[in-house]
Amino acid sequence: MAEEYMTAYHFTKCDKGSREEYINLPVDHGVISMTTGYPLLNANDHRYEGENKNIRGYCSCKVIGQCRPLTPKVWESTAKKHLIEGAPALTENSKLKCMYGGTISFCDPPADVQKKMQEQEDAEKKAQELQEAQENSNSSYMGEDGMGVSMDSDTGEWEDNDRTGTGHADFVKESLKKMIGMGLAPKPEEMTGDYCVATVGANVFGNVSAGVGVIYDRKGNIYDLGEVSVGRGLSLGRVQISAGEGNVPVLKNNSSSEKYIDAISGVSVGIDQSNGLQVGISGTLPRGPESSEIKLSVPSIGVNGSLREVVCIGNLYEKTNYENVIPSDR
């Protein structure tokens, strides 16, 4: 049987310690596992002290009390054939000796972490199923609260399709990160307002239009936006695009992320005037006016009244993948 090579974030245990811990690799060796996507470890990844430490400790020690591993020597029982950056690769059979008498080895994640891993796997599977159902459906329509309902082309059954699901949120988050990285959108901490907003709308009939968009705030929270507006003026095209910033007077720079979500999310009514530069004010029902926006908007001139719904779908700074399943108290 082929040996399994170990990567960062695999869990380890010490026979003198009281709990499992994952192994860290702050600076990788340039070799990534095709199975997990994480960097492979080598025999030199045995440090406990310093900024680039690998071993995190195992809570309490049967020998010295509080665990402070002393691991000056390299890993033993390493791969016989494969070197990574000049040192043998680690396998599931590798061992690391602690000078206090303990032996460190690789192990399965603890039960609470395995539960979180399973929950994440189930969520990703459900998101994939919903995406496939949407792609294979013959017809669909959007329902209340951003929920879509689609018909499976094989079974003829209707299925829920949440546009705020995992796949959608990840797509929006990665798209925003790319735009920020390219300088097309400001970093959250560099905003001059409380949030940035961008919308795309289209005339439905007469002076009624419908649109969708995205908002992200100074705390990195991301929101889906949907709105219906009635305008009076001149529309120079069937599609209107606007982008700009908004301010919420009740928020301060030291407001928590939760306060931002509470202030920005929800159903609101608003009015704005556009002449290339769009200025508007809106209020979340039933509390009243609480935000103002200044946007570049083309191609329309006039006054609009709108009904908007905003739903928080995630955060730019959320950890993803395996790190999500590591308890915060570790």
Q: Give Cα 312 distance to the centre of its chain.
A: 12
Q: Identify whether residues 251 and 195 lie together within a single domain.
A: yes
Q: Identify whether residues 190 and 274 lie together within a single domain.
A: yes
pLDDT-based confidence at residue 253 (cuts at 50, 70, 90): low
The reply to whether 74 falls in a domain is yes
Residue 3 DSSP symbol = P
The reply to whether 252 falls in a domain is yes
The reply to whether 328 falls in a domain is no
- Rounded to the nearest integer, the mean pLDDT of the chain is 76
pLDDT per residue over 13-46, tens digit each?
Answer: 999 999 999 999 988 898 988 877 889 999 999 9
Helix (H, G, I), strand (E, B) or coil at 127: helix
pLDDT reading at 163 higher than 70: no
pLDDT reading at 205 higher than 80: no
Q: Cis peptide leading into 186, omega within 30 of 0?
A: no
Q: How many domains does the chain have?
A: 3
Q: Identify whether residues 286 and 249 lie together within a single domain.
A: yes
Q: Identify whether residues 310 and 240 lie together within a single domain.
A: yes
Tokens at residue 79, please? 């791969």
Range of lowest pLDDT (54-68, 105-119, 130-144, 241-255):
130-144
The reply to whether 176 falls in a domain is no
Q: Identify whether residues 131 and 221 lie together within a single domain.
A: no
pLDDT-based confidence at residue 238 (cuts at 50, 70, 90): low
Range of lowest pLDDT (151-165, 184-198, 293-307):
151-165
Range of lowest pLDDT (51-65, 174-188, 231-245, 282-296):
282-296
pLDDT reading at 145 higher than 70: no
Q: Identify whether residues 308 and 205 lie together within a single domain.
A: yes
Which is more confident, 252 or 167? 252
Which is more confident, 171 or 65? 65
Residue 282 is predicted with a pLDDT of: 62
Range 292-321 average pLDDT: 69
Rg for the chain, CA atoms, rounded: 26
The reply to whether 3 falls in a domain is yes
pLDDT per residue over 53-103, tens digit each?
Answer: 999 889 999 999 999 999 999 999 999 888 999 999 999 999 999 999 999
Q: Identify whether residues 142 and 130 lie together within a single domain.
A: yes
pLDDT-based confidence at residue 222 (cuts at 50, 70, 90): very high
Residue 148 is predicted with a pLDDT of: 40
The reply to whether 249 falls in a domain is yes
Q: Identify whether residues 102 and 116 lie together within a single domain.
A: no
Residue 162 is predicted with a pLDDT of: 41
Residue 179 is predicted with a pLDDT of: 85
Q: Identify whether residues 81 and 131 lie together within a single domain.
A: no
Within a 13 Å sphere around the CA of 115, how many CA atoms are in the beta-carbon half?
4
Helix (H, G, I), strand (E, B) or coil at 170: helix
pLDDT reading at 259 higher than 90: no
pLDDT reading at 3 higher than 60: yes
Q: Identify whether residues 306 and 194 lie together within a single domain.
A: yes
Residue 274's domain comprises 183-315
Write the CA distances from 243 to 1, 213, 297, integer angstroms: 57, 9, 7
Q: Identify whether residues 303 and 187 lie together within a single domain.
A: yes
